[in-house]
Amino acid sequence: MPIYMEISPLHRLVTIVARGTVSGDEVRGTAQKLAEAKVRRFAKILEVASASFVFEPADIVGLAQTMRADVDGRGPIAFVVRDMNQPFPRMFATQTAHEGPVDLFKSLHEARTWIARMQNAPKRPPGEAWADPDRQGTVIRGARTREFTARELVH
List, in sequence order, every residue forming a beta bridge with 141; answer none if it has no partner: 144
Neighbours of 7 (CB within 10 A): 23
pLDDT at 36 over 90: no
DSSP track, 36-72: HHT-TTSEEEEE-TTEEEES-HHHHHHHHHHHHTS-S
Beta bridge partners of 149: 136
Give per-residue pLDDT as tens, 115-129. 999 887 555 555 555
* pLDDT reported for residue 155: 41
User: Is the separation of the CB atoms in 84 and 104 below 8 Å?
Assistant: yes
What is the average pLDDT value for the chain, to the nearest integer?
A: 80
Residue 153 has pLDDT above 60, yes or no: no
- What is the radius of gyration, based on Cα positions, of the chain? 15
Write the pLDDT tens digit of every residue in 65-92: 766 655 567 899 999 999 888 888 888 8
| Burial class for 70, CB neighbours closer than 10 Å (0-12, 13-18, 19+) | middle
Asked if residue 76 lies in contact with residue 43, where contact means CB atoms within 8 angstroms, the answer is yes
pLDDT at 16: 94
pLDDT at 25 over 70: yes
Mean pLDDT of 37-53: 91
Kindly report the CATH number that applies to the domain delimited by 3-149: 3.30.750.24
pLDDT digits (tens, 9 = 90+) for 86-106: 888 888 888 888 888 999 999
How many Å is the maximal CA-CA distance in the chain? 45
Q: Is the pTM of this model over 0.85?
A: no
